[in-house]
Amino acid sequence: MTGSDAPAGFRAEARAWLEANFPPSLAYRNPVPYQNDAAFAEADADWQVWRDRMAAQRWGAPGWPVVYGGAGLDAGDVRILAEEMARIGAFNPMKMTGYTMLGPTLLEYGTDAQKAAHLPGIAAGRVRWCQGFSEPGAGSDLASLQTRCTDEGDHWLVEGQKVWTSGANHADWCFALVRTDTSAKQRGISFLLIDMTTPGVETRPITLISGSSHFCEMFLNAVRVPKDNLVGRINEGWGIAKRLLQFERDSLSEGRGGGASLLPLARERLGVDAQGRIAEPDVRARLIRHAMRVQAYNLTRARIGAGIKAGIPGDAMVPVLKNLGSDVAQDRADLMLELLGEQGLGWTGQGYGETEIEAARQWLHSRAFSIYGGSYEIQNNIAAKRTLGLPDAPVRK
């Protein structure tokens, strides 16, 4: 990259278009609230403008084929577009569950009819998807899931319960793992697309320790699903799910090293000594260590990205990056709380500023980073086996 030199080719095109079309009010805003909370996004007029412009430009799914609502860009141009968005603090408004997880999975496993039916809505940011995987008895051990799906001739009949379904209360569709064979574990699972307006589908938000209700319980009572909504073949859903979880880890390993430097806040709240150093030595040491790890993490993402661009596969790194990302983000939330002291403990209302309340909520929320999308421990299991090639434990009888 040539930095401040005048860009050429697609970079010039992307830069000019983004500068003309990205609403400045959204610059450097955290896209996560928009992605997680439909009400939040819909309430923001600029967000809607941005979504519609990106949809018209087809850059919400820049790498997808044109026929499915994408722009058909090659990997190099997709990367350039991302770099140019990052340059001005823009984000992809389509980057939600449907785009990051289901889209790439359907592109690999879906029928032409399924792709044509579902991908354009995702690319335009018009159809919201949720992920019906976890169940009350199937968390880290996902393959033990029990939601039953039986073949009723002209339709599937689904009966069961899902939990931790992000955004289910705002979703239009759900991709779910269901049990089609009780005599096998992994080989009895199928991958099904369920219209959330189908009778028998009910959702209930779960309030988390941070006060947000972005996760839901989802109840499926005698839900009739068309036969065509099965992705891949019956009892072969586990392989598809594993692929989808890779896409999920991919998206979760992105962008945890962001956020403004903690230095100005530290100087303001802790003060500086006669030599201009942060006045509290222990907090200062932690801040320095954090800054170093953030930089090393960002360098790592850039290095692996450059490798992928040059044809060196990065798959093995995904679980490791997910955990490193959780580490730095949780560390940052901890430090924010430390810097704010008593002012970082407000829940609502009087006596606390907006950023102070946000810090407390974010600290609580940050504990989820190492749980969702495959817990810290599950990532380590995957990395031990796939990345390092360590042996499986013998099966206990």
Partner 1 sequence: MAVLTEEQALLRDMAAEWVADRAPVTALRRMLHEAPGTGYDPALFADMAAMGWAGILVPEEHGGSDFGFVGVGLILEQLGRTLVASPLLSSGLVGVSALSLGAGAVQQAAWLPRIATGEAVVVLALEEEGRHDPSRIALAATREGEGWRLVGVKAPVPDGMAADAFVVAARVAGDGRDGIGLFLIPSDAPGLSREPLARIDGRGAARLRLDRVTVGDDAMLGGAETGGALLDHILDRGRAGLAAEMLGSATQAFETTIDYLGTRTQFGQLIGSFQALQHRAVGMYAELVLTRSAVEAALAALDADSADAPMLVSLAKALAGETLHRVAREMVQMHGGIGMTEEHDAGLYLKRAAVADATWGSSAFHRERYGRLAGY
Residues classed as catalytic? 248
CA distance 31 to 22: 13
Candidate list 80, 218, 287, 335; residue touching partner 1; CB under 8 A: 287
Candidate list 137, 233, 289, 315; residue touching partner 1; CB under 8 A: 289
In this complex, which beta carbon is closest to partner 1, that of residue 46 or of residue 273?
A: 273
- The interface region with partner 1, picked from 125-133, 155-163, 332-340, 374-382 by CB under 8 A, is 374-382
Candidate list 221, 296, 348, 353; residue touching partner 1; CB under 8 A: 296
Cα–Cα distances in angstroms (integers) from residue 384 to residues 95, 282, 326, 371, in the given order? 30, 34, 18, 18
In this complex, which beta carbon is closest to partner 1, that of residue 69 or of residue 257?
A: 257
- Which residues, listed in sequence order, are joined to residue 223 by a DSSP beta bridge? 158
In this complex, which beta carbon is closest to partner 1, that of residue 227 or of residue 385?
A: 385
Coil, helix or strand at residue 154:
coil
Does 393 bind partner 1 (CB under 8 A)? Our answer is yes
The CB-of-122 to partner 1 minimum distance in angstroms stands at 32
Q: Is 331 in contact with 283 (CB distance < 8 Å)? A: no
CA distance 235 to 143: 12
In this complex, which beta carbon is closest to partner 1, that of residue 78 or of residue 278?
A: 278
The CB-of-195 to partner 1 minimum distance in angstroms stands at 40
In this complex, which beta carbon is closest to partner 1, that of residue 185 or of residue 293?
A: 293
The CB-of-50 to partner 1 minimum distance in angstroms stands at 33
- The interface region with partner 1, picked from 47-55, 139-147, 354-362, 379-387 by CB under 8 A, is 379-387
Helix (H) / strand (E) element for 336: namely: helix 318-340
CA distance 373 to 219: 21
Q: Are strands 173-179 and 129-132 parallel, antiparallel or unpaired?
A: parallel
Q: Is 226 in contact with 166 (CB distance < 8 Å)? A: no
In this complex, which beta carbon is closest to partner 1, that of residue 354 or of residue 392?
A: 392
Does 295 bind partner 1 (CB under 8 A)? Our answer is yes
Binding residues among 298-337 for partner 1 as defined by CB under 8 A: 299-300, 302-303, 306-307, 309-310, 312, 317, 320, 323-324
CA distance 175 to 229: 9
Residue 187 CA to chain centroid, in angstroms?
A: 27
Beta strands in the chain (DSSP E): 129-132, 148-151, 155-163, 173-179, 189-195, 201-206, 215-226, 230-231
Does 263 bind partner 1 (CB under 8 A)? Our answer is yes
Task: State the first-to-last Cα distance of the chain, in angstroms, to the nearest integer.
Answer: 57
Coil, helix or strand at residue 266:
helix
The CB-of-275 to partner 1 minimum distance in angstroms stands at 9
Does 54 bind partner 1 (CB under 8 A)? Our answer is no
Binding mask 98-137 for partner 1 (x = CB under 8 A): ----------------------------------------
* Residues 6+ positions from 165 with CB-CB distance below 8 Å: 130, 131, 132, 134, 171, 174, 203, 215, 216, 217, 218
Which residues contact partner 1 by CB under 8 A?
263, 266, 277-278, 284-285, 287-289, 291-293, 295-297, 299-300, 302-303, 306-307, 309-310, 312, 317, 320, 323-324, 377, 380-381, 383-384, 387-394
